[in-house]
Amino acid sequence: MYKSKSTLLLIVILLTFNTFEAIGQRKSENGQNVENSSHLRATPKLVVGVVVDQMRYDYLTRFWDHYEQGGFRRLVNQGFNCKNNHFNYAPTSTGPGHASVYTGTTPATHGIIGNNWYDKETDTVVYCASNEDYDSVGTETSAGKMSPHRLMVTTVTDQLRLHWQMRNKTIAISLKDRGAVLPGGHTANAAYWFEGGVAGNWITSSFYMDNLPKWVNDFNASNSAEKYKRPWTTLKGIETYVESGLDNNAYEGLFRGQTSPTFPHNLPSLWDGNGKFNMIKVTPYGNSIITDFAIAALKGESLGTDAITDFLAISYSSTDYVGHMYGVNSKEVQDVYIRLDRDLARLFKALDQKVGENEYTVFLSADHAAIQVPAYLKDQKIPAGYIVAEDLPARLNMYLKHKYGTTKLVKNRSNNQLFLDHDVINNLDLELGDVQKDLARELLSYKDMDRVYTAEQMWQNEYREGIPYILQNGYNQKRSGDILMVLKPGIINYPKTGSTHGSPQIYDTHVPLLFYGKGIQKGSTFERTEIPDIAPTISVLLGIAFPSGTTGTPIAKALK
């Protein structure tokens, strides 16, 4: 009797164990146990990548009290906030920024070393997204002759498409062509950008399609952009914008026809003198047009409607245009972020309705940050200033003439790099490394120069921290120059109104990184994260292969 009871108890235990085991495992066709796929990856119906052009991290904290629950606050309070997130390379500009976010690596690997750069092979200056092999679609101008052919590796959007055998969709959207083309990668179904001027339409390239789809033609025909031809006033009472400087000051640019940089900015009266629809880009209404179009794309492309993950890449560009014109401390910048917060809330509400709450995953970051207007910093007794662009080549040419008897050793100067003519150096029977060192020493003696490095140093050393680490990550052996220059902190080559970017200094590298939605852990970290960490983090979340050039590391704390 005792033996039969023991046998019965053993059977019950075994059945119970097998039942619980079956919950976490399933049988494959060959009979082997396989881990439940939910343990391997999250399964959002849609990933939404948001890049905000020229967003400093402190725009989250400075303007926090003006944000509502549905936009930035939703991402921060219900998502994961990387508070110490940085670009780990220079130049910090739009093309390299978007490429690095989506490839999980830096210009040293992905090859987008600037918005424009001197191409040593063709002896011409090239644009990061231009491609004469393709035609414009949706316009008679050349504005659509673009493709990602200069991007040397795959993107996370490419890897997602490859993973699902091209059965899913990637759609990329931005006011700027490069803000759509580079995130879309090589395999995007479509990348759309906004053509200003007299048209005010969304266009693309024959790289993606021969004709615009009906929903895009319908959107363009609806004259949706026309409704933003209206005065730009502050969303809230301007007296509440205490987080920014005076409305009328000497640090801000002007639209043609204006006599002061103050609110309201009357777009209708300034329209013809400021490029018509191009003017909208330099207002928060440009971001609203992007949001309108992104919401239309959700329906028009049926994004996030099945179990196979789609990708929507959105780049908000007006923040950059406004920052360049008015500067970091302007009421215009404050207003553009308060209004962007409402646009994000509108986007997330549409995602909740069309895709389903907790059925999508979002990341939000930036392509670079920005410096405070140096003229303003100087007035606050903070070291800052400007260089005169013409002074450097004039002085350098005097040195070259005196030292080598010719100025032809320097072929091009761009992105704070010098490109030397190696043929001339060989013909003069000079050693390239010696010439690089001589010029570096000369440049370092200039008043506004902080550091100078040579290509030989980039080749021979492996830097692990600081400015040289950032420069090396931006140095591509095939495409970059012979001399890398860094201006002193606070010194820029730019007009005396508005903000800019591009340097390896921390005011250009510190940007937000927020994750939200399916598969994301709530919380935050003060540990350093870097822009190339975004793509592998999303790749791990989705259970797909990393982009082919990945050098970043997944942010484990952000993932459930």
Task: Name the E strands within 235-323.
Answer: 310-316
413 Cβ contact list (under 8 Å, min separation 6):
392, 393, 419
**Are 325 and 195 spatial neighbours (Cβ–Cβ below 8 Å)?**
no
- Give me the long-range contacts of 223-228 (CB less than 8 A, separation at least 24): 224/289, 224/292, 224/293, 225/194, 225/200, 225/201, 225/277, 225/280, 225/289, 226/200, 228/267, 228/280, 228/283, 228/285, 228/288, 228/289
Burial 29-57 (b: 16+ CB within 10 A, else e): eeeeeeeeeeeebbbbbbbbbbbbbbbbb
**Are 458 and 484 spatial neighbours (Cβ–Cβ below 8 Å)?**
yes
**What is the radius of gyration, based on Cα positions, of the chain?**
26
Rounded to 5 degrees, φ, ψ at 70 are -90, -10
Our CA angle for 428, 429, 432, nearest 5°, is 95
**Are 513 and 68 spatial neighbours (Cβ–Cβ below 8 Å)?**
no
The DSSP bridge partners found for residue 201 are 195
68 Cβ contact list (under 8 Å, min separation 6):
341, 342, 345
- What stretch of H or E contains 172? strand 170-174
Q: How far apart are CA 43 and CA 154, in angstroms?
A: 22
Q: How far apart are CA 398 and CA 378, in angstroms?
A: 31
In total, the chain counts a number of residues equal to 560
Question: Whose CA is closest to 489, among 328, 323, 372?
Answer: 372
Q: What is the DSSP letter of 307?
A: S
Rounded to 5 degrees, φ, ψ at 146 are -135, 160
Neighbours of 537 (CB within 10 A): 27
Q: What is the DSSP letter of 545?
A: P
**Are 63 and 473 spatial neighbours (Cβ–Cβ below 8 Å)?**
no
Q: How far, in Å, are 222, 226, 295, 343 from residue 288 at the CA level?
A: 15, 12, 11, 6
Q: How far, in Å, are 84, 380, 459, 496, 500 from residue 537 at the CA level?
A: 16, 41, 29, 40, 29
Neighbours of 359 (CB within 10 A): 16
**Strand-strand pairing, 310-316 and 170-174:** parallel
**Are 99 and 110 spatial neighbours (Cβ–Cβ below 8 Å)?**
yes
Active site residues: 94
Torsion of CA 82, 83, 87, 88, to 10 degrees: -90
